[in-house]
Amino acid sequence: MNVANPRFDVYEDRCPTRLVLDRLADKWALLLMLRLTDGPLRFNQLKRDIKGISQKVLSQTLKKLERDGLVTRTVYPTVPVTVEYALTPLAATLREPVEALTRWAETHMPAIAAAQQAYDAGIETR
């Protein structure tokens, strides 16, 4: 990612897998989309739900997702203003593979934790 362009980064070539991996390899992006699968949510609602995310990063991440066509941003002219974020049909197609991944995560978390403990123990006594 560069910042030369004041707008957004321009990705210079490379294979498509690499490009998309670059985007999906974002902790918050996946988490956000997961949270939105049940329906649209407002900005501060997301901020509350996804504990630990700052408003700055939330804002940035939503903007990226919007640019990638994965999320829509709808403004309702209430007072004060209401903004809703929702998944697009494109994002809906992403749901299955992402859920497969989270299922894997939940299933194998214990194995990973065990591997870490073994690894760390091995280093301690070296």
Partner DNA sequence: CGGCATCCATACCGATACTG
Partner DNA sequence: CAGTATCGGTATGGATGCCG
Binding site for DNA (CB under 7 A): 1-4, 42-45, 52-57, 59-60, 62-63, 73, 80-85
Q: Tokens 């902790």 appear where?
A: 27
Taking the least distance from each CB to a copy of itself, the nearer of 68 and 84 is: 68
Binding-site size for a copy of itself (CB under 8 A) equals 46
Binding mask of the shown chain, residues 18 to 57, with x at each position contacting a copy of itself by CB under 8 A:
xxxxxxxxxx--xx--x-----------------------
* Half-sphere exposure in the Cβ direction for 7 (13 Å, CA): 3
102 binds a copy of itself (CB under 8 A): yes
Closest CA to 1 of 34, 97, 12: 12
42 touches 85 (CB < 8 A): yes
H or E segment and range at residue 51: none
Cα–Cα distance measured from residue 85 to residue 20, given in angstroms and rounded to the nearest whole number: 21
Question: What is the 8-class DSSP label of residue 9?
Answer: P
Q: Which residues are near a copy of itself by CB under 8 A? A: 7-8, 16-27, 30-31, 34, 66-70, 90, 93-94, 96-98, 100-106, 108-109, 111-112, 114-116, 118-120, 123
